[in-house]
Amino acid sequence: MVRRLDEVDHFRPKTCAVHRGRTYPAAAEADASGLIALTAGDDRPEGLIADPQGPSGDRFLATPGQLDAWYRTYWTFCWERCPFETVGTVDGRIKGVYTGGSWGFVNYKNVTHEPEPGAYTRYTVTVDLDGVTDLEHQRTDLIALAGAPLDLQMGERVYQFICARQNEQRDEHHREGDDDFVPAWREVHDLNQHYAKAVQAGDTDEAGQLLGALMAKADQWKSHPHHTVVSAGVPSP
């Protein structure tokens, strides 16, 4: 494991797709038509169409049904008993993005605030291997998530993601207890509650619209490493 620290790509998250037994780098999300972009280089995958928006001609589009697998791999670890997801290595040390929701942690610990496009700021640490615990390799099956039926867990997953990001924003702007935070939290809370009631009532149309509205709230943090997993299978509002 120590030797792998010198391999910058080893601890970076990756998304892959398997088509007819061959593995290709792939997009982390399907496009608006539900197609997944694969990067194939000179080896044109048989039966797939070229991506008309791919300027280099090395990208091809597939439906989930054309793939043997579509998955995301990444590493997670804990530092100071809090969760992180790795983004790579820096000078033989692991760099990770904080994935918890404690504004107190990012205020009082030695984390780096890194602005991202839009409204999102990520919090990172770069630490020695012996300074982390629970270093684990993870794999998320994106096809399974994309084909999952609407259920209570899907809404809760999106809701918790939004709440964690709202907490981070609250910390970033030092707005503990201010009047702006509560209405924003209550809005997503109510959306989640209405979604749960629609699922329990079997009203799939209403549930889909409410879940899409929740996801629209989450989309302001598209650059967050967990957004891909949260958004898989969620319909547009």
Mean pLDDT (the chain) is 81
Single-letter amino acid code for the residue at 165: R
pTM (2 decimals)?
A: 0.70
Q: Angle 152-172/181-201 helices, nearest 10 degrees? A: 180
Residue pLDDT, tens place only, 13-46: 999 999 999 999 999 888 877 789 999 877 788 8
pLDDT at 72: 93
Band of pLDDT at residue 208, cut at 50, 70 and 90: confident
Confidence band of 5 (pLDDT split at 50, 70, 90): low
Beta bridge partners of 61: 37, 49
The percent of residues in the chain predicted with pLDDT above 90, rounded, is 23
Structure tokens at 5: 């620290």
DSSP line for 52-64 = TT-TTS-EEEE-G
Q: What is the pLDDT of residues 148-186, one digit of tens each?
A: 777 777 888 888 888 888 877 776 555 444 445 567 778
What are the beta bridge partners of residue 22? 19
More confident residue, 134 or 44: 134
Summarize the confidence of residues 62-90 as an average pLDDT.
91
| pLDDT score for 38 | 94
Give the Å distances, CA to CA, from 41 to 29, 35, 44, 50. 20, 18, 7, 11
> Residue 1: pLDDT above 60?
no
pLDDT > 70 in the chain, percent: 85
Bigger pLDDT: 117 vs 135: 135
In the three-class reduction of DSSP (H, G, I as helix; E, B as strand; rest coil), residue 32 is classed as: coil
Q: Is the pLDDT of residue 7 over 60?
A: no
Query: 10-14, 52-56, 121-125, 192-196: lowest mean pLDDT where?
Result: 52-56
Among 204, 168, 163, smallest CA distance to 184 is for 163
Q: How confident is the model at residue 227 (pLDDT cuts 50, 70, 90)?
A: confident
133, 160 Cβ separation under 8 angstroms: no
Tell which wins on pLDDT, 89 or 146. 89
pLDDT attached to residue 177:
47
- How many CB atoms lie under 10 A from the CB of residue 164? 18
What are the DSSP calls for 144-212, one per residue? HHHTPPP-HHHHHHHHHHHHHHHHHHHHHTT-TT-TTHHHHHHHHHHHHHHHHHHHHHT-HHHHHHHHH
